[in-house]
Amino acid sequence: MKKSGILNADISRVLSYMGHTDTIAIGDCGLPIPEETERIDLALVKGTPSFMEVLRAVAADMKIEKIVLAEEIKEKNPTVLNEIMELSTGFETGFKIEYVPHDELKQRTKACKAVIRSGETTPYANIILQSACLF
């Protein structure tokens, strides 16, 4: 049995086989997930688990060099954006933030190793995390 870190077997497996520049997404409960992308569904009821709960757990177990957010989050969900920015101070030095239109973010989930579905019900609470190199 794992002693610490992510206990969810699917998330732990995906993070373990990710390499440099591979991506994983975390989305709200409404984010469409492409058929070709692995779905890790954590949604239990509306709001549980929250987007930020899932992001904090994944970020603690992953070396991140870049995040991709929907441009719309700036206007439509500044509360979650501020929480992401606060959390990101613990990411790698020089990590990048890229803002793209929401439709483009949805298209990019096709290339992700997996999309983790949270129970979040606030708009544009979606992120793509790009893996950094461990050395």
The yes-or-no answer on residue 104 being catalytic is no
28 has binding-site annotation: yes
d(CA 105, CA 57): 22
The residues near 61 (Cβ < 8 Å, ≥ 6 apart) are 5, 6, 12, 15
99 has binding-site annotation: no
Please pick, among 20, 39, 96, 110, the residue that the annotation labels catalytic: 20
17 has binding-site annotation: no
The residues near 46 (Cβ < 8 Å, ≥ 6 apart) are 29, 119, 121
Of 94, 89, 37, give the one whose Cα is nearest residue 65: 94
8 has binding-site annotation: no
d(CA 78, CA 122): 11
Please identify every residue annotated as catalytic. 20
Binding residues for substrate: 28, 102, 124-126
